[in-house]
Structure formats: structure tokens, C-alpha cells
Amino acid sequence: MSLKAEIKPTNIIRQAVLMMFLIITVSTSGIAQNDTIGFWDFPPSLHKTRFWTAAGTGAVAYTGTLITLNELWYKQYPRTSFHFFNDAAEWQQMDKAGHMFTAYFEADWIYTITRWTGMNRKSSIWTSALVATGLQATVETLDGFSSKWGFSVYDFISNVGGSSLWAAQQLAWDEQRIRMKVSSTYRTYPEEIVQGFPDGMTTIRERTDDLYGENIFQSFLKDYNAQTVWLSINVHSFL
């Protein structure tokens, strides 16, 4: 893979930011209930206090996420009219696998939240899949108005693929028998001197530190060379 390629900043942080949004929603929506329902139990019907607490917390976290994305990244580049960008050939499809994983993961977490509020099973499934796709589509839309990038149809298709993989299994089996998983093997790169971009000399290590991050935490999200995304099949659930 060419070292000329540049990872889109939103791809780097969207997983971390949106995961944080979900974690905040789960952790802060737990207001004590004055009834006999256990805190972690799913109510038999819609629990309005839980529902509006989760919805309100999610709305605040979502708004905060958009403001953060705008301040950290989009303000650095000129705005344009909405446009598309074809990135189908970039990163050997690893970023697309990341999009699928993120949407899958979001749908799985949101389902737990919606069931916790007392929404029925089918409503929770459709809500989770649509909200996960919508979260991802928001960032794609922001890309569409940035001169640096553009709306990627292939990213959007990957997002839909991830949430659909989750929803199809939940509808068919009421469980996830085939799960998406991700891992990253931390690696360091050589100090070999190479031609810099656009000019001058640099080392492969300096270039990869700039692209992939300087520590294991940044590398986990940014270094596509070191990532593995796979499907884990629970054979026992089929038997």
C-alpha cells in the first residue's frame, strides 16, 4: 500500500467518538426507578422514564459529537456545495470493513438500550438498525460538504451492510450467531530513508507515525495494515 495515501480524520475518530456516545448513553441513562423492575431488567412494556432519559441523553451526546467533529476537523478545511467522492479503491477495502464493524457494533449496543427502555423486540431491532445507519450517515454527509473529502456511496453501503447483518440475525434468531470482530497487531516501522511528500526526505517510521499514530492506542484505530476484521461464527448456536 502506498505511503502517499492519507487516512481521512473522520475515519480515525468516528469509531471512538460514536462508541463514547453509546457508552455515555448506557451509563447515564440509569436513573433509579421507584418500582419493582430490576435496573438491568427489560420492562414488559414501554417505560416512559427510561425512554425519555435515554432519548435525551442520546440527543445531547449526539449534538456534542457533531460540534466536536466540526471543531476538530471540518473547520480546518473550506466548505463546498454537497458533492460525492469515489474512494472505492482506497486502503484495499479495510476502511469499508471498519465502516461495517462500526455500524454493526452500534446497532448491537443501541438494541440493548432500546430494550432497556421497554420497547418491544421488533421495534427495537428496526430502531437500532436505523439509528446506527443514521449515525454513520451524518458523518458521511458532513464529508459531503467538505472540500477535503466528499460523500462516499461505498462508505454508506458498508454502513448499511453492517447494520443489516446485525438486524437480519436478530430478526431471524433473536441472537447474534455471526459476529463481526476486530483486532490490531501493534507494529513499528523501519528507519529507512525515503522520498518525502511533496518534497524532501523522511523516514518510513516518521511517515507511518504521522499516518498511523505514535502509540498502540492510535495505531489500533489508524493503522489499517495492522488491523484484522473477521466474522466469528458460533457453531454451537446452529447445532
In-domain check, residue 154: yes
For residues 54 and 110, is the Cβ–Cβ distance under 8 A? Answer: no
- Closest Cα to residue 208, out of 10, 5, 8? 5
The pLDDT of residue 18 is 54
In-domain check, residue 188: no
In-domain check, residue 166: yes
pLDDT in tens, the chain (239 residues): 444 445 555 454 555 555 555 554 554 444 444 457 788 889 999 999 999 999 999 999 999 988 988 888 788 889 999 999 999 888 888 999 999 999 999 999 999 999 999 999 999 999 999 999 999 999 899 999 998 889 999 999 999 999 999 999 999 999 999 999 999 888 888 888 887 766 678 888 888 888 888 888 888 888 888 899 999 999 999 99
Work out how many domains the chain is built from and give that number: 1
In-domain check, residue 215: no
**Distance (Å, rounded) from C-alpha 113 to C-alpha 42?**
9
For residues 119 and 42, is the Cβ–Cβ distance under 8 A? Answer: no
Q: What's 167-217 look like in SS3?
A: HHHHHHHCCCCEEEEEEECCCCCCCCEEECCCCCEEEHHHHHHHHHCCCHH
- Closest Cα to residue 152, out of 105, 63, 91, 211? 91
The pLDDT of residue 1 is 40
* Cell numbers standing for residue 17: 467518538
The pLDDT of residue 30 is 44
The pLDDT of residue 19 is 52
In-domain check, residue 239: no
The pLDDT of residue 199 is 67
In-domain check, residue 208: no
Q: DSSP string of 82-122?
A: --B---TTGGGGHHHHHHHHHHHHHHHHHHHHHHHTT--HH
In-domain check, residue 114: yes
- What is the distance, to the nearest Å, from the Cα of residue 52 to the centroid of all Cα atoms in its chain? 24
Q: Is the peptide bond preceding residue 198 cis, with omega within 30 degrees of 0?
A: yes
**Distance (Å, rounded) from C-alpha 94 to C-alpha 219?**
14
The range of the structural domain enclosing residue 165 comes to 9-180
Q: DSSP character for 37?
A: S
- Torsion over CA of 43, 59, 109 and 124, rounded to 10 degrees? 50
**Distance (Å, rounded) from C-alpha 210 to C-alpha 96?**
22
The pLDDT of residue 31 is 45
In-domain check, residue 212: no
The pLDDT of residue 40 is 84
